[in-house]
Structure 1
């Protein structure tokens, strides 16, 4: 699985499933190599296990049809059952090596990070991607780190023994995503933002 340029994170209380699926289908006009850089991340922790599994099945079908990827938050069991392409690990999740022991060495693993130091620890642990947040103001998520944190992370990763893809999360939308990519992010992730079927590109200059 390629590092996604854009990850749409599910939160059906704010973005109902039909809206999410419509946003996903809008990427269908992109060439296959660009559709492969789109992912959906199954989150929705408030759903019951059965409802989360059912949603995951529908998203697995939709992403497979598009040529996009499916990533599952934390739940290794669901990732395994759904045949997900990757898993996203939070602070209370298992470690990267434990996730790969369950899901296989080839599974894509991203790790939630809230500081540049945590990005470096994710790289050292063998993660494929570090999701740094919040970059911009997001309700209930603490002070924003700003694009400067992405620049610092990219600079410090250059001297690290092992690199890791850098993903920006938190208040990111179609207008601010290019600034994140210009600051050193390899991709962005969002819950509420609508990207209109276009992959974000770095801002010129």
Structure 2
């Protein structure tokens, strides 16, 4: 069976006070439908807290074929056995992140609303580029607002996959998939969904499949 044209890229909540409980929630969510990746994003957390999260969540994700990507920290991603790292424009530069994690792990780069930054990242060997924020988000401070046309233009000219991020909900997923997103990065849209994360994963997959079919 062919892979979906648009897939879900989950991002953890900003803090995980009950790691065991979140692990159970994560397992149910991943069992509910297709998920490509889980980004562990615990901004400014101590190394031991990040390591504990990776140790607890990686087996749950990787056993289900879900790639584990660590935010910001290529050094910890390599040491803890993550599948990749995601870096922002103010984090470790792409080439340095690649040197640290090696050729076999993924490196993704935040490119905000800039085709120029994305093209530079692609030329420097990024495995994916992330555009956003497409909608208001409380998960992080988003300095830019991206237009869905950015995704369409990227798909027309580039082979490197693109991720849409920022305030994405089930209601907005179809439009972004139709516009050309390869992945939708979602945090609160899944974890805070009124019907629960598992229902959210099902709903996102239905909307993304429908949107991709309309391209």
Matched residues, number: 194
Aligned to 1:52: 50
Aligned to 1:99: 97
Distance 1:201 1:189, change over 3 A: same
- Unaligned stretches of 5+ in structure 1? 158-162
Distance 1:178 1:155, change over 3 A: same
Task: Give 1:63 shift.
Answer: 0.8
Give the whole-Å Cα distance in 2 for the aligned partners of 1:9 and 1:57. 16
Give the whole-Å Cα distance in 2 for the aligned partners of 1:65 and 1:155. 34
- More helix by proportion, 1 or 2? 2
SS of aligned partner of 1:93: coil
Given that 2:163 and 2:184 are in contact with CA atoms closer than 8 Å, whether structure 1 keeps it comes out as yes
Q: CA RMSD in A?
A: 2.6
SS of aligned partner of 2:170: coil
Q: Deviations over 1:155-202 (max 9, x none)?
A: 343xxxxx3100000011222122111101101101101262333324
- Unaligned stretches of 5+ in structure 2? 191-196
Given that 2:38 and 2:68 are in contact with CA atoms closer than 8 Å, whether structure 1 keeps it comes out as yes
Aligned to 1:89: 87
Aligned to 1:110: 108
SS of aligned partner of 1:137: coil
Distance 1:14 1:77, change over 3 A: closer
Distance 1:125 1:16, change over 3 A: farther
Aligned to 1:66: 64
Task: Give 1:38 shift.
Answer: 2.3
Please give the TM-score of this superposition, normalised by the length of structure 1: 0.82
